[in-house]
Amino acid sequence: MNYRYAMTLLAAASMSIGLGVSGITDANAANLKLDAAKSSLEFSFSQLGVPMKGKFTKFSANVFFDAKKPEATKADFTVDLNSVSLGAADYDAETKSPLWLNTRAFPNATFVAERVASVGPGRFEATGKLSIKGATQPIKATFTYTDGANPVVEGSFPMKRLAWKIGDGEWKDTSIVADDVTVRFRFVTSK
């Protein structure tokens, strides 16, 4: 198994980046529609000390946000873990295996926002639960919001892959594939 696969699994956790979508704001309360074709969900990790990157290409979200009351945000996000890409077909296939994402048993990762708060002009913090591979853990993402005809939410969050059992067996060795994963997202929406 390749370490890239392990990291891809971590990226799956990244899919929970629904966090970013959950922070979308507007001058008025709004239901926002994610434009997945113009959006991105990426993750980075280290394998044997070498920086690695991957992405997910299929994800969706349901978001309601009231700029005057960010605490009233309702958002959930789903990532198709079978859409993982590390840039090579063999890596992608291994990442879907039971030791990594186990997409046959757990085809999706989900994120449900529990709290969204303003932390400065155009800056937000979202907390919620990310579920991957049958494990659910809390995460916290920080992001920015740019208003317009197509509002954009950009941000990131750190995660520990082993908390979601991404990389079982011999892949638990963090000297090979680091436990630390960073998920970055850029969501383009319409009102």
pLDDT tens digit sequence for 62-109: 888 766 778 888 889 999 999 999 999 999 999 999 999 999 999 999
Residue 163 burial (C-beta neighbours within 10 Å; 0-12, 13-18, 19+): middle
Model confidence at 154: pLDDT above 60: yes
pTM listed for this prediction: 0.83
Residue-level length of the chain: 191
Number of H helices, E strands in the chain: 3, 11
CB 159 within 8 A of CB 185: no
- Residue linked to tokens 């990131």: 156
Split at pLDDT 50, 70, 90, the class of 29 is low
The residue type of 117 is A
Report d(CA 59, CA 61) in Å as an integer. 7
Report d(CA 145, CA 88) in Å as an integer. 33
Helix (H, G, I), strand (E, B) or coil at 156: strand
Tell me what the mean pLDDT of segment 129-133 comes to.
97
Report d(CA 141, CA 130) in Å as an integer. 11
- Residue linked to tokens 């997202």: 185
pLDDT at 59: 95
Residues above pLDDT 90, as percent of the chain: 65
pLDDT at 22: 39
Report d(CA 46, CA 111) in Å as an integer. 24
Tell me what the mean pLDDT of segment 112-122 comes to.
90
Split at pLDDT 50, 70, 90, the class of 133 is very high
Report d(CA 106, CA 158) in Å as an integer. 22
List, in sequence order, every beta strand (DSSP E) within the chain: 30-34, 40-47, 50-56, 59-65, 74-80, 84-85, 108-120, 123-132, 135-146, 152-160, 180-190
- Residue linked to tokens 């709290």: 115
Model confidence at 35: pLDDT above 60: yes
CB 5 within 8 A of CB 94: yes
Tell me what the mean pLDDT of segment 37-43 comes to.
96
CB 183 within 8 A of CB 157: yes
pLDDT at 14: 42
Instruction: For the chain, give the mean pLDDT.
Output: 85
Model confidence at 15: pLDDT above 70: no
Which has more pLDDT, 45 or 10? 45
Report all structural domains of the chain as residue ranges with CATH numbers, in order of start: 3-190 (2.40.128.110)
